[in-house]
């Protein structure tokens, strides 16, 4: 109560900013700058986890197909930015794109002339596609509750995975390599190039901080409280005037957009994308991260997600990578359904004296 409300509202993001800077300085001081690569990737994956946190943690719905949306964003960026339109150069659409500056001629790695679309179209197409798919999937399936919604989203995830693996145009099992950089400004591009390692680290975390801020804003608003009400009791929420279907759809689409943006940025950062991103085990992983972070605690989800994803990307879990995340999910469900932080009794903001009594169903 000593912290003024305006300050308290921005506290999580301020703490995040301080940590991000401290970690970068520490990593440099320790002489292990290569860690920044995994920390940057962990940031993008955590953005996807935050999106699921909104849908699962706040709105209380289950999605087992979140990786599908990340793959849609990633593959859209990959396909758009690597497509060679030279054979189609005569078509009026391509000509118009070129005149608008959205397509340009260049030379590929092997010296052949190519006509490429602006990489900026990639994330835009990815976000639009993810939103459209989320609406199409959400309209019928968000009427379902519990297991049924889980089944529907699981099936969606499997479909994306199989489509990606089965499509020669998307590189089938090999995925899409040689994805160009996404130029943001002079001296800043989303790319794996060593020289841009530090700016990329900060860019990724800036976007994550923004994503966190938006979710925390929502949590303290009319629409966010409606989501939490739906989580608690759909019928009671509807009786208060909440259009339950619409609110769920908004959360679902927003979560999908978070994942698609993450996928798109990862594709440019890694320079390639493969069907593994769309696998069901990846979806299970996001669920595990959200559950371990404490479902409705965006800050907790971000912390857990960053740590575990970083360890996973460093190869700490070895061949047992997927098994570790699945085991974490099982362990959380059995022993700490409110997440690690609640289980360890770490102080959480707004924790009242009567807090301990309420474990939400």
Partner 1 sequence: MSDVPRAAAMPAVAPLLEVAGLHHWFGGLHAIDGVSFACRAGAIKAIIGPNGAGKSTLFNLVAGTFPPAAGRVAFAGREVTGFPPHRIASLGIARTFQASRLFPGMSVLENVMAGRYVRGRSGFLAGMLRLPSARGDERDARRRALQMLEHFEMADLAGADARSLPFGRQRIVEIARALVGEPTLLLLDEPACGLNIRETERLGDLIRGIRSRGVTVLIVEHDMSLVMGISDEVVVLDRGTLVVEGTPREVQADPRVVAIYLGEA
Residues in the chain: 361
Among residues 231 and 268, whose Cβ is nearest to partner 1?
Answer: 231
Among residues 63 and 200, whose Cβ is nearest to partner 1?
Answer: 63
Q: Is 331 helix (H, G, I), strand (E, B) or coil?
A: helix
Give the Cα separation of 33 and 26 in Å (integer).
Answer: 9
User: Do 180 and 172 meet the contact criterion of CB atoms below 8 Å apart?
Assistant: no
Minimum CB distance to partner 1, residue 297 (Å): 11
Among residues 49 and 190, whose Cβ is nearest to partner 1?
Answer: 49
Give the Cα separation of 291 and 288 in Å (integer).
Answer: 5
Q: Where does this chain bind partner 1 (CB under 8 A)?
A: 214-215, 217-218, 220-226, 228-229, 231-233, 235-244, 247, 250-251, 254, 296, 350, 352-355, 357-358, 360-361
Minimum CB distance to partner 1, residue 18 (Å): 22
Give the Cα separation of 361 and 357 in Å (integer).
Answer: 12
Torsion of the alpha carbons at 139, 289, 211 and 157, rounded to the nearest 10: -30
Minimum CB distance to partner 1, residue 349 (Å): 12
Among residues 187 and 347, whose Cβ is nearest to partner 1?
Answer: 347
Minimum CB distance to partner 1, residue 150 (Å): 21
Radius of gyration of the chain (CA): 21
Among residues 53 and 182, whose Cβ is nearest to partner 1?
Answer: 53
Give the Cα separation of 197 and 53 in Å (integer).
Answer: 28
Q: Which two tokens stand for residue 195?
A: 């020289």
Among residues 99 and 222, whose Cβ is nearest to partner 1?
Answer: 222
Minimum CB distance to partner 1, residue 45 (Å): 21
Q: What's the Cα-to-Cα distance from 112 to each of 24, 84, 119, 146, 228, rounded to whole Å?
A: 40, 11, 19, 53, 55
Give the Cα separation of 3 and 315 in Å (integer).
Answer: 41
Strand partners, 182: 190
Q: Is 111 helix (H, G, I), strand (E, B) or coil?
A: coil
Minimum CB distance to partner 1, residue 261 (Å): 14
Minimum CB distance to partner 1, residue 207 (Å): 14
User: Do 160 and 65 meet the contact criterion of CB atoms below 8 Å apart?
Assistant: yes
């Amino acid at each position: 109560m000593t912290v003024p409300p305006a300050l308290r509202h921005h506290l999580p993001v301020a703490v995040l900013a301080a940590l991000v800077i401290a970690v970068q300085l520490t990593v440099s001081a320790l002489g292990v700058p290569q860690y920044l690569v995994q920390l940057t990737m962990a940031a993008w994956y955590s953005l996807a986890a935050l999106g699921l946190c909104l849908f699962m943690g706040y709105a209380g719905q289950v999605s087992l197909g979140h990786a599908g949306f990340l793959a849609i964003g990633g593959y859209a960026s990959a396909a758009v930015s690597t497509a060679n339109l030279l054979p189609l150069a005569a078509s009026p659409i391509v000509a118009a794109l070129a005149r608008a500056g959205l397509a340009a001629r260049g030379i590929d790695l092997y010296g052949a002339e190519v006509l490429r679309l602006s990489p900026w179209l990639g994330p835009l197409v990815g976000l639009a596609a993810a939103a459209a798919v989320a609406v199409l999937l959400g309209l019928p399936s968000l009427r379902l509750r519990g297991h049924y919604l889980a089944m529907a989203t699981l099936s969606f995830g499997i479909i994306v995975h199989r489509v990606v693996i089965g499509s020669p145009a998307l590189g089938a099992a090999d995925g899409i390599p040689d994805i160009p950089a996404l130029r943001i400004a002079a001296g800043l591009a989303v790319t794996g190039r060593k020289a841009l390692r530090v700016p990329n680290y900060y860019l990724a975390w800036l976007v994550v901080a923004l994503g966190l801020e938006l979710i925390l804003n929502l949590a303290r608003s009319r629409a966010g409280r409606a989501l939490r009400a739906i989580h608690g009791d759909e019928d009671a929420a509807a009786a208060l005037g909440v259009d339950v279907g619409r609110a769920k759809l908004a959360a679902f689409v927003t979560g999908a957009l978070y994942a698609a943006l993450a996928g798109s940025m990862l594709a440019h950062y890694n320079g390639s994308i493969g069907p593994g991103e769309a696998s069901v085990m990846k979806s299970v992983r996001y669920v595990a991260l959200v559950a371990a972070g404490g479902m409705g605690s965006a800050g907790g989800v971000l912390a857990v997600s960053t740590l575990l994803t970083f360890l996973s990307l460093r190869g700490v879990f070895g061949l047992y990578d997927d098994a570790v995340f699945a085991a974490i999910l099982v362990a959380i469900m059995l022993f700490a359904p409110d997440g690690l932080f609640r289980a360890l009794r770490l102080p959480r903001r707004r924790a009242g004296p009567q807090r301990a009594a309420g474990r939400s169903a």
